Amino acid sequence: MIEAHQITKRFLTTKAIEGIDLRIDPGKIYGIIGENGSGKSTLLKLLSGLLHPSKGSITINGEPVTRQSASTIAYMTDFDRFYPYFKVSELVSFYESQFVDFNKNKAEDILDFLAIDHEQKLKHLSKGNLGRVKLAVTVAREAPFLLLDEPLSGLDPMVRESIVKGIIQFVDFDRQSLVITTHEIRDIEPLLDEVIIIHEGKKLDQQRVDDIRMKEQLDVEGWLKRRTR
């Protein structure tokens, strides 16, 4: 389990995250939603140990999160400057050399599912296909926590839901959790267990999707509009 206690992150004068408490349990899919600049990426980087909170603490299974937590967390960045002369297959080999939990066969299966040519050079891939490659190499890790920052950006709206549904088949929910930040909540709403709203650096709410539908009689988009009004 990942637990954040009252975390705050400042960048000089900007308070990107303020006083957030959060718990990520095993075996679930979480969606983190919020407007541009609300703090979603910063929160994910904090949870993955890439950034340190200015205040508060984060633990994974009771141990403090550090950069070494990369062995328990697979983080898919929104940054996409890979070595451009690598072929897709060379990027896969590079990931295999970097992460002990990297499952090369799984990576190749995901790339096939996403119709990516393994012999294509990264510099020749479209933005959407580069996004698919990033998704494949991240989900191919057997880490207990998979944190995906805007995995749908750059993907054609027509294929977003089917891609996410397909990718989920490669996640083992007996021992892995998935956390996804997104603007496009409508595309993945049916797949989520819980939704967390980040608004101006604060956690506005966290609910089970079933509770939103049954108790509030709303879809997640309607609930989001009501909560951020």
Question: Which tokens hold the place of 97?
Answer: 């050399």
Question: Which tokens hold the place of 175?
Answer: 């021992």
Q: Is 41 in the site for ligand ATP (CB under 6 A)?
A: yes
Give whichever of 92 and 195 is closer to ligand ATP, judged by the CB atom: 195
Question: Which tokens hold the place of 173?
Answer: 């929910």
Q: Pick the binder of ligand ATP from 31, 42, 147, 176 (CB under 6 A).
A: 42
114: which DSSP letter? T
Query: In the sheet that 73-76 helps form, which strands lie side by side, from edge to edge?
Result: 73-76, 145-149, 177-182, 29-33, 194-199, 202-208
- Contact stretch for ligand ATP (CB under 6 A) within 22-30, 31-39, 67-75, 79-87: 31-39
Question: Which tokens hold the place of 162?
Answer: 């089917």
Give whichever of 40 and 132 is closer to ligand ATP, judged by the CB atom: 40
Q: Pick the binder of ligand ATP from 16, 60, 122, 192 (CB under 6 A).
A: 16
Give whichever of 77 and 89 is closer to ligand ATP, judged by the CB atom: 77
Q: Is 38 in the site for ligand ATP (CB under 6 A)?
A: yes
| DSSP class per residue in 38-57 | SSHHHHHHHHTTSS--SEEE
Give whichever of 42 and 176 is closer to ligand ATP, judged by the CB atom: 42
List CB contacts of 211: < 8 A, sequence separation 6 or more.
none
- Contact stretch for ligand ATP (CB under 6 A) within 22-30, 40-48, 116-124, 136-144: 40-48
CB 174 to ligand ATP: min, Å: 30
102: which DSSP letter? B
Cα–Cα distances in angstroms (integers) from residue 68 to residues 57, 63, 73, 92, in the given order: 16, 11, 9, 21
Q: Is 160 in the site for ligand ATP (CB under 6 A)?
A: no
CB count within 10 Å of CB 186 equals 14
CB 221 to ligand ATP: min, Å: 17
How many positions of this chain bind ligand ATP (CB under 6 A)?
11
Q: Pick the binder of ligand ATP from 6, 25, 37, 169 (CB under 6 A).
A: 37
Q: Is 11 in the site for ligand ATP (CB under 6 A)?
A: yes
Binding site for ligand ATP (CB under 6 A): 11, 14, 16, 34, 36-42
